A and B are shown apart, each in its own frame.
Chain A
Amino acid sequence: MTTPLLQVEHLTMRFGGLTAVGDLSFNAKAGEITALIGPNGAGKTTVFNCITGFYKPTEGMITLTQPDGKKLLLERLPGHDINWKGRVARTFQNIRLFGGMTLLENLLVAQHNVLMRASGMTIFGIFGTRGYKRAEKEAIEYAEYWLEKTGLIDRADDAAADLPYGDQRRLEIARAMCTKPLLLCLDEPAAGLNPRESLLLNDLLLSICRDHQTSILLIEHDMSVVMQISNHVVVLDYGRKISDGSPDMVKNDPKVIAAYLGVEDDEVEKTEAEIAEIAAHAQGEAK
C-alpha cells in the first residue's frame, strides 16, 4: 500500500486550558476526497488551520508526501511556504476574496510565486522583458481555464465582491486551484448554496479530484455533499476522533448518531453501555 498523501499523527491544539483538538490521527489518501465532519465546535476548522499553517499545533506531526516521495513536515514550514513548497491550498469558511480586484486579478494573485520568478523578482518585469510577458500570458490563460471551468468566465472583469454568494464560493475554489495544489482543503464549500448549486459543486469537486491530481480534504455540514462524493469520512466530536471510515460505515456508527442527534437523558447509560460494547468489540477485532 502506498503512503497516504497527508498523515496527521497525534495532533493536539490547546488554547490556554481549552483543548480544541486532542490526539487526532487520520490519513488522507492521494486521489481521494476525505471529509472531516462533526457537530459545531468539534474542532474541524482548528484542524484545517493547523494543516494550512495558520496555527502551530501544540503537539503532533503533519506529514505531506510529495509525488516524488519526499516528505514535508507541514507544522515546521512558515505559513506562506505551506502553499508554495507544500502545495496545500485552502478556502475559508467565511469567504476571503480580494473583493476590490477583478476575478482575473484574483486568479493572477494566486499565481504570484510563479509570476514573481518569471519577472526576475520584479527587476525584469519593470523593463517588460519577453520572458515575463510570456509567463503572464500563460498565467492569464490558466486563469481563463479555471474561470471557464467554474462558469465565471463572463464575469472575469467584474469585481469579486460584486458576485453573488455561490459564485464567490466557486471563485475561491478556482483561486485555490490556480496555485496547482496537491491537497485542496475546503472549509464548508457548500454552506449557503442552494440544492442546484450544491450539485454543481459536487461535479466540480469530483472533476478536480479526477483530472488534476489534486486530493481534497473537506469540512462540510451538508451530508448530501459528504455522502455522495467523499471516499473517506473522519468524524470529530469535542476535538477527538469518534469515527473513521467509508461514508456508509460512518453513517451507521452509533457514536456518530449519538454525537449528531444527542440521546435522551434516561438513555445515556444504555447508549454508553452500547458504545463501550461496540468499542470492546472493535478492539477485539483489531487484536
Chain B
Amino acid sequence: MAQPTLSAKAATEPTRVQRAFKDAFIAALVMLGLSVPILALRTEQNMSNEVILIPRPWLVVSCCLIVFVGRLLLGLFVFNRAPDAKPLFETPTSLRTAWDKFAPYAAQVGLGAIIAYPLVALYLGGPQGAIKWIDNFGIQILIYIMLGWGLNIVVGLAGLLDLGYVAFYAVGAYSYALIATKVIPATYPDLGVWAFWICLPISGILAAMWGVILGFPVLRLRGDYLAIVTLAFGEIIRLVLINWVDFSGGYAGLSSIPRPSFFGIPFNASETGFAAKFGLEFSPIYRTVFLYYVILVLSLITAFVTLRLRRLPVGRAWEALREDEIACRSLGINTVSTKLTAFSIGAMFGGFAGAFFAARQGFISPESFVFLESAQILAIVVLGGMGSLFGVVIASIALVGGIEILRELDFLKAIFGPSFDPTQYRMLIFGLAMVLMMLWKPRGLISHREPTVFLKERKSISSSLVQEGHG
C-alpha cells in the first residue's frame, strides 16, 4: 500500500532542476520590480536646462538576466545539494599541512617582511617611485595598525566599546603641533630640531590624561550608554578644535609643524642636513624611509607593551572584566581603576600615533579627526578579531591598503569609460567586505583567544566561549 503512494508523490513533486528554475524566475521578477523604478529611466538636463528622461531598457534586461543566471546557478549547485554531497570548496590537504608548518613562523616572517618592505620598494621603484609606496601604503597602514593595537586594549581586552578613540589621536596630534610650533620656539628655540622626540612622550601623557578625565565620569556607564558618551566625547574634542580658533586655528588647522629629525639632524637640503652629513645626494626619500621605521618602532612598542600587560595582573583583570564585571568585584578587583588604566593606556598609544601623524603630515586640521576615523579604527579591531594583535595587522592591510590600492586601478577606465573613478566605490566595497565578514567570520578573522599562562599545554580557547564585554 505504501509503495504506490510514495512513487505517486515523487512524480508530482518538482525535480531539483524545476525548483531551481522556478526560484530563479521569481528572483528575476523581483529584480524587474526593483529595477524598473530605479534603473529604467535616467534623468538628465538638455541644452536648455530642461529635465529629460532617457529610457534604458537594456540595462534592466541585463540586470534581470544576471540575477536569473546567478540564482539559477546557486539553486543548482549550492542550495539544493544532496546531504552527502562533497562540499563545493575544500582546502586541499597539502595546502593545509603547508600552512600548519608555516603558522608558527608567521609572526617572524611577517615582521621580516615589514622591516624589509621599504628597501624592497626602493629597489623596485627607485627613489621617486618608492615614496608613494612607502608613504601611502607603508606608513599609512602602520599608523592604523598602531591605532588598532591601541584601541584593542580598550575594546578587545577590557571590552569597553569606545566610539571616540579618534579624540585621543587628535589630542596627541594637537599637543605635538602646538608645543612644537608655539611653545618650543618661544622658550627654547635651540631645541627645535629635537621637537618631535621631546613632544612624543608629552603627547602620549596628555592623551592618557584626557583618557582619565573622560574615564572618571563615563566608566560607570555600560554598553550602549558608554558607546554613546565616548562618541560624543570624540565630537566635542573636534568641535572645540574647530571653534576655539585662537588655540587651534579652527578649520584652517595648524601648518608648518616641524618634521622629525634624525636624532637632531634635520632632513633638509642644507649643509647640516641628513643627506650632506652622510655624503648622500639630497632626496625626500630618506625622511620617508626614516618615518616608516619610526612608526614601525612605535607600533612594535605598542605590541610589546600589550603582550606584556596581558600577562600581568592588570591585563588579566581587563580580560576578567570583559568576561564578568560582577565576579571581578567579588574578587576584590577595583573595577573603576582597572577600567581607567585600560582607557588611559589605550589613549596614550592613540596620543603617540597622533603626534607621529602631525609630524608626518606637517599640517593638521579638525578634518582629520572625524567620526569616520573612529569607525575605521574600530572596524579594524572588530574585523581583526577582538584581542588579536595579528588580526589587527591583517585587517589594517586589507582595509587601509585595500582603499589605497583603489587609486591604482586607473587602468579600469579603459574598460568602463573615462568617467569611471574606482576610489568612489571605496565605501561600497568597505561595506560589502564588512557584510561578508559578519556572515562568515562574525567574531573577526582571528577570533580564538590565547591563554596568558598555562601549566602543561597551551590550548587556544574557541571564540564561542569568550565574552565580548558589555562596556
Chain B residues with CB below 8 A from A140, complex form: 453, 455
Question: Is the beta-carbon distance between B327 and A97 smaller than 8 angstroms?
Answer: yes
Question: Is the beta-carbon distance between A89 and B316 smaller than 8 angstroms?
Answer: no
Question: Is the beta-carbon distance between B308 and A83 smaller than 8 angstroms?
Answer: no
B53 interface hit (Cβ, 8 Å): no
Docked CA distance A101–B454 (Å)? 11
A100 interface hit (Cβ, 8 Å): yes
Stretch from B221-229, B287-295, B459-467 forming part of the interface with A: B459-467
Least CB separation from B345: chain A residue = A122
Interface size class of A (residues with CB under 8 A): 35 or more
A81 interface hit (Cβ, 8 Å): yes
Contact of A112 among B316, B341, B449, B467 (CB under 8 A): B316
Least CB separation from B312: chain A residue = A125
A102 with B461: in contact, given A115-B313, A116-B314 (CB under 8 Å)?
yes
Question: Among residues 414 to 462 in chain B, which have CB atoms less than 8 Å away from a CB atom of chain A?
Answer: 449, 451-459, 461-462
Docked CA distance A261–B196 (Å)? 78
Chain B residues with CB below 8 A from A179, complex form: 331-332
Docked CA distance A137–B161 (Å)? 33
Docked CA distance A158–B456 (Å)? 11
Question: Among residues 66 to 91 in chain A, which have CB atoms less than 8 Å away from a CB atom of chain B?
Answer: 79-84, 89-90
Q: How many residues of B contact A (CB 8 A)?
A: 38
A96 interface hit (Cβ, 8 Å): yes
Question: Among residues 299 to 346 in chain B, which have CB atoms less than 8 Å away from a CB atom of chain A?
Answer: 305, 308-309, 312-314, 316-317, 319-320, 323-324, 326-335, 341
Docked CA distance A65–B309 (Å)? 37
A105 interface hit (Cβ, 8 Å): yes
Contact of B332 among A81, A97, A105, A144 (CB under 8 A): A81
Interface centre among B313, B329, B451 (most CB of A within 10 A): B313
Question: Is the beta-carbon distance between A90 and B330 smaller than 8 angstroms?
Answer: yes
Pair count A-B, CB < 8 A = 137
Least CB separation from A181: chain B residue = B332
A52 interface hit (Cβ, 8 Å): yes
Interface centre among A104, A116, A119 (most CB of B within 10 A): A116
Interface centre among B305, B328, B330, B455 (most CB of A within 10 A): B330
**Taking the nearest CB of chain B, how far is it from the CB of A52, in angstroms?**
6
Task: Give the A-binding residues of B (Cβ under 8 A).
Answer: 305, 308-309, 312-314, 316-317, 319-320, 323-324, 326-335, 341, 449, 451-459, 461-462, 465-467
Task: Give the B-binding residues of A (Cβ under 8 A).
Answer: 52-54, 79-84, 89-90, 92, 96-102, 104-105, 108-113, 115-116, 119, 122, 125-126, 128, 132, 140, 144, 153, 156-159, 161-162, 175-176, 179
A-B contact pairs, 24 of them (CB 8 A): A54-B326, A80-B334, A83-B329, A83-B330, A84-B332, A98-B324, A99-B466, A99-B467, A100-B449, A100-B466, A101-B451, A102-B451, A105-B316, A105-B452, A109-B317, A109-B328, A109-B333, A112-B320, A119-B314, A122-B341, A157-B451, A158-B459, A176-B330, A179-B331
Known: A98-B319, A108-B453, A179-B332. 7 other contacts (CB 8 A): A96-B324, A100-B465, A104-B451, A108-B313, A122-B312, A126-B308, A157-B454
